[in-house]
A and B are shown apart, each in its own frame.
Chain A
Amino acid sequence: EVQLVQSGAVLKKPGESLKISCEGSGYTFAHYWIGWVRQMPGKGLEWIGVIFPGDSDTRYNPSFKGQVTISADKSINTAYLQWRTLKASDTAIYFCARRPATAEGSFNYFDPWGQGTPVTVSS
């Protein structure tokens, strides 16, 4: 069974750093893109960026570039989303999702998704 399992909920203070994870299983992790999505409290979904673990090719939504870092370690089938300096406005649920890298664009959809990691930033 293909699965993405994310790290657990975290409570941090403004100014602290954080790295959350997304571990894939049931497939060849290096051969699929992993995307990250933010959902602020009571709000909709926003793409943060995507990474191809095979060669670490990474693309960021311009709205998030410089605010977060996306990385991956294909040796342990895990992708990461990282902040150097958290702000209260980073409070959200963060989801990861898998996307194929086929030549057939019609099949390059995001599925499955991880269960989400709630991040709370509060003093």
Chain B
Amino acid sequence: IVMTQTPLSLAVTPGEPASISCRASQSLFDSEDGETYVDWYLQKPGQAPKLLIYTLSYRASGVPARFRGSGSGTVFTLKISRVESEDVGVYYCMQRIEFPYTFGQGTRLEIK
């Protein structure tokens, strides 16, 4: 499954919203359990990826409410309601409905 993210980079003013899109080459919806298996990660410079959103829209423990995952089928979005300076890094979507799991190319978020 190919995961395609857009844009590949974006620069956002603190306090403004940001949106990252991810498209899968096939549906990530599992009709057996009704779940959609896309996760979002943030990799800050020099660090390991950190889970933000799992199974389409569930925020991981400790993740601020300004992060929101949405979408369906093959099209997904990560939205940050008000960007803060600590949000800089590379964001990845990842599918885990089918092995091998695959990541998007990554979207680099910078602060203006």
Contact = CB atoms under 8 A, between A and B. Distances in A.
A106 B33 contact: yes
B58 A106 contact: yes
A41 interface: no
A46 interface: yes
A106 B100 contact: no
A44 B51 contact: no
Contact of B105 (A37, A44, A113): A44
A2 to B, nearest CB: 11
Contact of A47 (B39, B100, B106): B100
Contacts of A35: 101
Contacts of A109: 39, 51, 54-55, 60, 96
Interface residues of B, number: 27
Contact of B49 (A46, A61, A95): A95
Contact of A105 (B30, B41, B99): B30
Which of B49, B51, B55 has the largest count of A CB atoms less than 10 A from its CB? B49
A63 B100 CA distance: 9
Contacts of B65: none
A113 B49 contact: yes
A44 B22 CA distance: 15
A113 B92 contact: no
B55 A106 contact: yes
B103 interface: yes
Contacts of B51: 109-112
Interface of B: 30, 33, 35, 37, 39, 41, 43, 47-51, 54-55, 58, 60, 92, 94, 96, 99-106
26 contacts: A37-B49, A44-B103, A44-B106, A45-B41, A45-B43, A45-B94, A47-B103, A49-B100, A61-B100, A63-B100, A95-B49, A97-B49, A105-B35, A106-B33, A106-B58, A109-B39, A109-B51, A109-B54, A110-B39, A110-B96, A111-B51, A111-B60, A113-B50, A114-B48, A115-B47, A115-B48
